[in-house]
Chain A
């Protein structure tokens, strides 16, 4: 080797380790704790993306082992059931920085963040000098390939150290396809809010289709943590389409590159072919405003002219970009994800319609959990996500946090000093931003950058959750009041009668008249419970007439019909009033009499249905039930509306069947009517308007 060559290779060697060293804060390896989280993150993101593309339901296992007798050395083992990587691609996937196809595609993807698994291999090598073990099996081959990889820092390329074909079995089962990585690195294992456990838990909430296992083995070889977050749905996220860029979201560099690569001969056709939302009228308008000829050859535009073109783009109205490039999680699945990971009493979630800001489609999803085991004297826990990836650092500087802080949560029953900032109380708030282009505050990609449109959109969503929470608390209060009355007549009054009688040596008087006088109301007592034995949700209701007059009612209850629940053991019969609403006629109830309504719901899982709403039709008020609004019911029946529950003001239950969600998920617009109306109008009046 010549001296010059040697020098060149030396330079390169220095350059790569220096690059890593200098940039480790935004590569995610700046602290020992963060290094292991970043490594897990890269592995999990890769697995989820690969499974999604291959349409496989992911089973992911993460294991962390403390290396005995070595300070701050951890082994990471990540395993998935993804498609695997063909033998010839392994070196590229693990050995080249920024390898992948996601770079220029405009669509929602996880992989916008981090430098990929290569960074992990490199960090391992730099801190321990060890190679990374990879085992991969693709379904078209009969054996798996095992490789030990290092990175040749001189050539910036992966080096295979050994390579072998093996039969991969786990627990006597032959693995059809999958990938396993084992790597050792200098890192620190930590618990708490910035830990692997928290990261995986959050990942499982926004990826409810994944099974995620996590195990931590300490330096004595004992398993200290063994967690399993089970999938809540078997529906994979909707496949996302790539879209062309929108003229309002384009940057100079990108525009230059596109012009350089263009094949079109005319500027107008370049604009129409390569961008979304550009009509021929709009294309002409851009050219006029830019002072350019319609027929100018795109390839030959000068920098000056490109600047004029860009300027013109921002002054012309276009049709909004299509939003089917987004894949929201859907509120029902967020609810399931939250319920399974956090024990609580109340969950409310919301997926907003997609919106556009500066040419980029985005969509907001929010969730709020309240009560249960969540401590009430601490700040509310915030779960922030961008494109299904948990954000764990820089909470304070993040747009999602700002949106939460901007809401006055005091009116919804949470504590908050001055009506600003992160509230206090037994709650957890989730915000998910899905977008083709998530703008972060820095390369670390842990905090979303300010954007007024997005902020207002999140606020709107959170206010709705707040209203749901307030409604829930009101209802709870009402129920507590009714419960007090029950305690009074069931426990205290009989005790008074008994004690008074025994002190006076007299017979115990009949209490029904006194009870009617005290209660002077018709009361509905209702419980929804889970029967472990039969795996049935049991609904039990008793209607008491504690008034001096005979009463008759029709009692109605909502039930998750569309979710696929099957009504069983309904001995009172009754009839279907509307989809998801059952009615029972209660014939005359004499003073002091009661009527029981009982039924079970099969085909549901535990936690799917925890609160049943009771309505009544009749003249006198029923404590513990709401009067049915006939007008709304009529509307619902006429339209066959899917939103019965929302219209009736029901908050906490799942109002979609599993199959509905699946079909709905293909069109991410939750509120189809609204969006279609908007786009219909734009064509009707020939106006091109931004949403």
Chain B
């Protein structure tokens, strides 16, 4: 995602956080930091945007315990660090920031998860994106294969035209972390829909079987829970090219969550759901029904799986009839299945039988 704000605006918003703490200290009170509650209890459906966003519930972090006081101190150090990067025209990865915090004394992070979470907190409080903070993730985005053409600004500052079928090797086009207009332009395509695939094994199977050409689609590898840039490029292709997006994942509670984050927005990034979510995306499979209908090799649900499913039952994103049914069916079944369990009927079964049947249900084949 690109920087959406002026630097001055970002700095101003960050200094508001500092101001809140300073004012409390001046009054002889305990310094605080106020931010939205970041759990499923505080995500509401935004009718206008068609995605889930944080609601109005706020939580206050104050310096009355050692842990949260340290968090406040870290926030101040991070604000200072971002200030300096903005002033000096630098940027850093989240991991680099984690290591830089070694020099922050008592404000040092003990895990990178802490620093990533705090960066997200600051995004949410200031309604900015981490690109505004000059912070970028180190995880790369996904791979794309299919007859679609993209213009990407390369390191030498030149625009480079890439066709994701003809100009790439077997591994496809690698999606960079920044997929905004200034870096990537969506030029042209000759496909009918986009299929997002959870596992690398299935992605490669479909390529080997020539599925993208036969069914005129673009294949996107999600790599598990998709990175922000993957979700963003899915949304752009969906909006700018008007292509339907279908999600093909394992048949387990975690796949449902992957779909939820693509279609409705992830809880962790609910502050920017409107940039990341593709509300019209549909879930192709593997569904709980498929496990029975195709008699797929399956595993028993673990206690963790069952817990996750139960939690999804009360997740507002899965409140509609389709998902409630899928989840209760899977709970009743007590089973889950991988995408690759379709290989039970041979390597071509997925491309010759399963996917054509599923796509036909959606009117895409």
Which partner residue on chain B sits nearest A486 by CB separation?
B66
CA distance A514 to B31 in the complex (A): 8
Cβ–Cβ < 8 Å partners of A510 in chain B: 28
CA distance A499 to B73 in the complex (A): 8
B 32-74 binary contact with A (CB < 8 Å = 1; else 0): 0000000000000000000000000000000111100110110
List the one stretch of B14-22, B110-118, B223-231, B329-337 in contact with chain A.
B14-22
Contact A501 B22 (CB under 8 A): yes
Cβ–Cβ < 8 Å partners of B73 in chain A: 492, 495-496, 499
Number of A residues whose C-beta is below 8 Å from B?
24
Contact A504 B15 (CB under 8 A): yes
Cβ–Cβ < 8 Å partners of B106 in chain A: 491-492, 495
Q: Which of B15, B28, B105 has the most CB of A within 10 A?
A: B28
Which partner residue on chain B sits nearest A519 by CB separation?
B64
Contact B69 A493 (CB under 8 A): yes
Cβ–Cβ < 8 Å partners of A514 in chain B: 24-25, 28-31
CB within 8 A of A504: which of B19, B28, B65?
B19
In angstroms, how far is the closest chain A Cβ from the Cβ of B320? 45
Cβ–Cβ < 8 Å partners of B29 in chain A: 513-514, 517
CA distance A209 to B80 in the complex (A): 65
CB within 8 A of B72: which of A491, A496, A511?
A496
Cβ–Cβ < 8 Å partners of A503 in chain B: 15, 18, 76, 79-80, 83
CB within 8 A of A499: which of B15, B30, B64, B77?
B77
Which residues 511-536 of A have a CB within 8 angstroms of B?
511-514, 517-518
Cβ–Cβ < 8 Å partners of B30 in chain A: 514, 517-518
Contact A495 B79 (CB under 8 A): no
**B107 at the A/B interface (Cβ < 8 Å)?**
yes
A500 touching B64 in the complex, CB below 8 Å, given contacts A492-B106, A513-B28, A517-B30: no
CA distance A545 to B109 in the complex (A): 32
**B158 at the A/B interface (Cβ < 8 Å)?**
no
Cβ–Cβ < 8 Å partners of A509 in chain B: 22, 25-26
In angstroms, how far is the closest chain A Cβ from the Cβ of B53? 30
Which partner residue on chain A sits nearest B19 by CB separation?
A504
CB within 8 A of A492: which of B18, B19, B28, B66?
B66
Cβ–Cβ < 8 Å partners of B76 in chain A: 496, 499-500, 503
CA distance A485 to B68 in the complex (A): 12
Interface size class of B (residues with CB under 8 A): 20 to 34
Contact A487 B77 (CB under 8 A): no
Cβ–Cβ < 8 Å partners of B79 in chain A: 503
CA distance A493 to B70 in the complex (A): 9
Cβ–Cβ < 8 Å partners of A518 in chain B: 30, 63-64
**A566 at the A/B interface (Cβ < 8 Å)?**
no
CA distance A310 to B344 in the complex (A): 85
Which partner residue on chain A sits nearest B21 by CB separation?
A500
**A497 at the A/B interface (Cβ < 8 Å)?**
yes
CA distance A518 to B32 in the complex (A): 12
Which partner residue on chain B sits nearest A508 by CB separation?
B25
Q: What is the number of contacts between chain A and chain B, taking CB atoms within 8 Å? A: 74
CB within 8 A of A496: which of B15, B69, B80, B83?
B69
Cβ–Cβ < 8 Å partners of B63 in chain A: 488, 492-493, 496, 518
**A5 at the A/B interface (Cβ < 8 Å)?**
no
In angstroms, how far is the closest chain A Cβ from the Cβ of B106? 5
CA distance A488 to B70 in the complex (A): 8
Cβ–Cβ < 8 Å partners of B28 in chain A: 510, 512-514, 517
In angstroms, how far is the closest chain B Cβ from the Cβ of A547? 14
Which residues 90-127 of B have a CB within 8 angstroms of A?
105-107
Contact A488 B31 (CB under 8 A): no
**A506 at the A/B interface (Cβ < 8 Å)?**
yes
**A222 at the A/B interface (Cβ < 8 Å)?**
no
CA distance A497 to B73 in the complex (A): 9
B 353-365 binary contact with A (CB < 8 Å = 1; else 0): 0000000000000
**A164 at the A/B interface (Cβ < 8 Å)?**
no
Cβ–Cβ < 8 Å partners of A485 in chain B: 66
CA distance A30 to B326 in the complex (A): 72
CA distance A496 to B107 in the complex (A): 9
CA distance A459 to B70 in the complex (A): 46
In angstroms, how far is the closest chain A Cβ from the Cβ of B98? 18
In angstroms, how far is the closest chain B Cβ from the Cβ of A589? 19
**A484 at the A/B interface (Cβ < 8 Å)?**
yes
Contact A492 B22 (CB under 8 A): no
In angstroms, how far is the closest chain B Cβ from the Cβ of A511? 7
Cβ–Cβ < 8 Å partners of B15 in chain A: 503-504
Cβ–Cβ < 8 Å partners of B64 in chain A: 518
Which partner residue on chain B sits nearest A511 by CB separation?
B25
CA distance A506 to B79 in the complex (A): 16
CB within 8 A of B105: which of A493, A495, A501, A512?
A495
Which partner residue on chain A sits nearest B27 by CB separation?
A513
In angstroms, how far is the closest chain A Cβ from the Cβ of B19? 7
Contact B65 A488 (CB under 8 A): yes
Cβ–Cβ < 8 Å partners of B25 in chain A: 496-497, 500, 509, 511, 514
CA distance A492 to B26 in the complex (A): 16
Cβ–Cβ < 8 Å partners of B26 in chain A: 509
Cβ–Cβ < 8 Å partners of B69 in chain A: 488, 492-493, 496
Contact A500 B70 (CB under 8 A): no
Which residues 305-321 of A have a CB within 8 angstroms of B?
none
Cβ–Cβ < 8 Å partners of A517 in chain B: 28-30
CA distance A587 to B64 in the complex (A): 29
A500 touching B105 in the complex, CB below 8 Å, given contacts A485-B66, A492-B70, A509-B26: no
Cβ–Cβ < 8 Å partners of B80 in chain A: 499, 503
Cβ–Cβ < 8 Å partners of A504 in chain B: 15, 18-19, 22
Cβ–Cβ < 8 Å partners of B18 in chain A: 500, 503-504
Cβ–Cβ < 8 Å partners of A499 in chain B: 73, 76-77, 80, 107
Which residues 58-88 of A have a CB within 8 angstroms of B?
none
CA distance A497 to B26 in the complex (A): 9
In angstroms, how far is the closest chain A Cβ from the Cβ of B26? 5
Cβ–Cβ < 8 Å partners of A512 in chain B: 28
In angstroms, how far is the closest chain A Cβ from the Cβ of B66? 4
Which partner residue on chain B sits nearest A512 by CB separation?
B28
Which partner residue on chain A sits nearest B79 by CB separation?
A503
CA distance A503 to B29 in the complex (A): 19
Which partner residue on chain A sits nearest B20 by CB separation?
A500
Contact A496 B21 (CB under 8 A): yes
In angstroms, how far is the closest chain B Cβ from the Cβ of A590? 16
CA distance A327 to B343 in the complex (A): 81
Cβ–Cβ < 8 Å partners of A513 in chain B: 28-29
CA distance A511 to B29 in the complex (A): 9
In angstroms, how far is the closest chain A Cβ from the Cβ of B60? 14
In angstroms, how far is the closest chain B Cβ from the Cβ of A385? 45
In angstroms, how far is the closest chain B Cβ from the Cβ of A140? 72
Which partner residue on chain B sits nearest A484 by CB separation?
B66
Cβ–Cβ < 8 Å partners of A487 in chain B: 66
Cβ–Cβ < 8 Å partners of B24 in chain A: 514
Which 7 pairs across A and B sit closest by C-beta, in order of nearness? A513-B28, A499-B76, A492-B69, A500-B22, A484-B66, A509-B25, A488-B66
Which A positions have Cβ atoms within 8 angstroms of B? 484-485, 487-488, 491-493, 495-497, 499-501, 503-504, 506, 509-514, 517-518
**Listed A/B pairs (23) with beta-carbon separation below 8 Å:** A484-B66, A487-B66, A488-B66, A488-B69, A495-B106, A495-B107, A496-B21, A496-B73, A499-B80, A500-B22, A503-B79, A504-B18, A504-B19, A506-B22, A509-B25, A509-B26, A511-B25, A512-B28, A513-B28, A513-B29, A514-B30, A514-B31, A518-B63
Known interface pairs A484-B65, A500-B22; 14 further A-B residue pairs with C-beta atoms within 8 A, sorted by A's residue number: A488-B63, A491-B106, A492-B69, A492-B73, A496-B63, A499-B80, A500-B18, A503-B18, A509-B22, A509-B26, A513-B28, A513-B29, A514-B29, A517-B30
